[in-house]
Chain A
Amino acid sequence: MKSKCTFILGGLILAAMPLAMAQTGGLRLPKTVEAGSAFSIQSSGSGPAFLYIVGPGQVLRRKVQLGETTVFAPGDLHNAGRYLAVFVGGSSTENGAFDVTAAHQPMVLSFLAKPSRLPVDLHDGISGVVYVFDAFQNLVLVPIQVSFQLTSVTGAEQMRTALTRNGAAWTKMNSAAQEGVAKFVARVGDATSTRVIQQVPGNPCHLRMSARASGQRLAVETEPVRDCSGNPLPDGTIVTFTETYSDGESTVDVPLKRSVARADMPAYGGAKVSVATGVFIGNEIRLGTKR
């Protein structure tokens, strides 16, 4: 019973082996082997010897009987590359080369998304690059379709597809109009990889203040400061109020709190008050001449 099972198992392994064989003298070896799959090498001659499989990716050694077939089990040789099969000992000095190619099934995606944080509403502002690997960390070099999906906090989706060339595919996406976390997913078959992109408000697009004099004090206050897509600028953004009067100038820097900046300044008759954040300038107010 046991020998019958061994025979059947051996038959299955042999059936799965590459059919294309290179032949050098009595040496028969496959031209290519898919990484991680079974294969066999047929030698000529007689007597015991060692069979070395040597390449930059892996080195194997088997004790063999020349003239017989040496079977390598699935998983024995799993790194893609060019290999040399060398028989040492016995009556044989044969050797030959063959290639191991990446497995066809993509298993691992190396996905780099940049930047991790960017302003909203930026055309082609997000880039994604994918390198596709098999289960043995070999780059899958046959062209494969990669789908990229960027989902913003509102559920809005952008989809792109790209075909790998030499194992790599890339895309560019626009950042959404609304601030918040976006999920950037790369997918090849069942293999997926997700990155998180933080989309923050862009430059201010609307900066308007009002001023109210009260005795010798002037209370200035902005309306909620927003970007061009209507997203409120984050708290902590510095707003500068500048009051220019006949004898000089007063400046107050205040951080936004709930998107609004407030400050108290001395009230000078005829003074001009302006507001700015970063390089963006808001409205101006000229005070009356009465104090």
Chain B
Amino acid sequence: MTKPLFIIMCSLFPTIVALGSDHPAVRAAPTELVGPRPLERQTETAVIRDYLQAWRSMSDAFDQNRTDRLDPDFIGAAKEKLAGTIREQASLGIHTRYRDGAHDLHLVFYSPEGLSIQLVDTVEYDMEVLDRDKVLAAQHVRARYVAVLTPTEVRWKVRILQAEPE
């Protein structure tokens, strides 16, 4: 990671940290997991760190139309879908910028065998559709994302990333 991701996880009170324009404000709510497996603090920190890094990778990949930027942080269906979209927008001569401004994270499910963890993120981001450098459209979006991450050799990777209406 080139830039540190500052994450504050409070056991008693959720906290919002604003870190300037390059860093999203991240709020990690106290964990209220469904499931029998306890979540260690170290795991929780790693999951949130890797999830936020995945947003950075996704943003770079869509802005530069480079599917390889997804490789370190995405796997399975999420990677296939995002890569497919990048190929579609490249073939149409456009690219998109997703700048995540704020994340409100809730870890909601840790599977009994420890092979998947699910979080819900109310995320705010600015989306721009561009034809080369010309902005075709821009919109501020607030959406609820459901993500499922699975452990790999050295990090958690996003296997499902899906927005739904709030």
Query: How would residues 157 to 168 of chain A score, 1 for a CB under 8 Å from any chain B CB and 0 otherwise?
Result: 000000001111
Are A54 and B129 in contact, with the CB atoms below 8 A?
A: yes
Query: How would residues 120 to 140 of chain A score, 1 for a CB under 8 Å from any chain B CB and 0 otherwise?
Result: 000000010101000001110
Taking a contact as CB atoms closer than 8 A, the residue among B88, B112, B141, B143 that contacts A59 in the complex is: B88
CA of A102 to CA of B163 in the docked complex: distance in angstroms?
10
Are B148 and A86 in contact, with the CB atoms below 8 A?
A: no
Are B164 and A131 in contact, with the CB atoms below 8 A?
A: no
CA of A56 to CA of B109 in the docked complex: distance in angstroms?
24
Are A84 and B139 in contact, with the CB atoms below 8 A?
A: yes
Known interface pairs A54-B94, A141-B146; A170-B112 also in contact (CB < 8 Å)? yes
Taking a contact as CB atoms closer than 8 A, the residue among A52, A54, A95, A139 that contacts B162 in the complex is: A139
Q: Any chain B CB within 8 A of the CB of A81?
A: yes
Taking a contact as CB atoms closer than 8 A, the residue among A57, A60, A129 that contacts B113 in the complex is: A129
Task: Return chain A residues, CB-CB under 8 Å to B146.
Answer: 139, 141, 166-167
Q: What are 20 A-B contacts defined by CB distance under 8 Å?
A: A54-B94, A56-B81, A56-B161, A57-B81, A58-B84, A59-B88, A59-B94, A60-B88, A79-B85, A80-B164, A81-B162, A81-B163, A82-B163, A86-B136, A95-B139, A101-B165, A115-B113, A129-B113, A166-B118, A168-B148
Query: How would residues 64 to 104 of chain B score, 1 for a CB under 8 Å from any chain A CB and 0 otherwise?
Result: 00000000000001000110110011001010101000000
Are A129 and B111 in contact, with the CB atoms below 8 A?
A: yes
Task: Return chain B residues, CB-CB under 8 Å to A86.
Answer: 129, 136-137
Measured CB to CB, the nearest residue on chain B to A55 is B85
Q: Any chain A CB within 8 A of the CB of B19?
A: no
Smallest beta-carbon distance B120→chain A, Å: 6
Measured CB to CB, the nearest residue on chain B to A96 is B139
Known interface pairs A95-B137, A167-B146; A59-B89 also in contact (CB < 8 Å)? yes
Are A56 and B112 in contact, with the CB atoms below 8 A?
A: no
Task: Return chain B residues, CB-CB under 8 Å to A32.
Answer: 165
Number of A interface residues in the complex (CB < 8 A)? 39
Measured CB to CB, the nearest residue on chain A to B138 is A95
Q: Any chain B CB within 8 A of the CB of A99?
A: yes
Q: Any chain A CB within 8 A of the CB of B38?
A: no
Query: How would residues 170 to 187 of chain A score, 1 for a CB under 8 Å from any chain B CB and 0 otherwise?
Result: 101000000000000000
Quick one: which of B58, B111, B137 has the most chain A CB within 10 A? B137
Task: Return chain B residues, CB-CB under 8 Å to A170.
Answer: 35, 109, 111-112
Known interface pairs A112-B115, A129-B116; A84-B165 also in contact (CB < 8 Å)? no
Task: Return chain B residues, CB-CB under 8 Å to A56.
Answer: 58, 62, 81-82, 85, 98, 161, 163
Beyond A84-B137, A168-B111, list 9 extra A-B contacts (CB 8 Å). A54-B129, A55-B85, A81-B163, A88-B131, A88-B136, A99-B164, A139-B148, A165-B109, A172-B112
Task: Return chain A residues, CB-CB under 8 Å to B4.
Answer: none
Q: Any chain B CB within 8 A of the CB of A286?
A: no
Interface residues of A in 53-82 (CB under 8 A from B): 54-61, 79-82
Q: Any chain B CB within 8 A of the CB of A97?
A: yes
Taking a contact as CB atoms closer than 8 A, the residue among A52, A114, A139 that contacts B136 in the complex is: A52
Are A52 and B163 in contact, with the CB atoms below 8 A?
A: no
CA of A172 to CA of B113 in the docked complex: distance in angstroms?
11
Q: Any chain A CB within 8 A of the CB of B20?
A: no
Are A129 and B112 in contact, with the CB atoms below 8 A?
A: yes
Are B112 and A52 in contact, with the CB atoms below 8 A?
A: no
CA of A106 to CA of B77 in the docked complex: distance in angstroms?
17
Task: Return chain B residues, CB-CB under 8 Å to A102.
Answer: 162, 164
Smallest beta-carbon distance B129→chain A, Å: 5
Task: Return chain B residues, CB-CB under 8 Å to A137.
Answer: 77, 81
Measured CB to CB, the nearest residue on chain B to A126 is B112
CA of A138 to CA of B148 in the docked complex: distance in angstroms?
12
Query: How would residues 153 to 165 of chain B score, 1 for a CB under 8 Å from any chain A CB and 0 otherwise?
Result: 0000000111111
Interface residues of A in 32-64 (CB under 8 A from B): 32, 52, 54-61
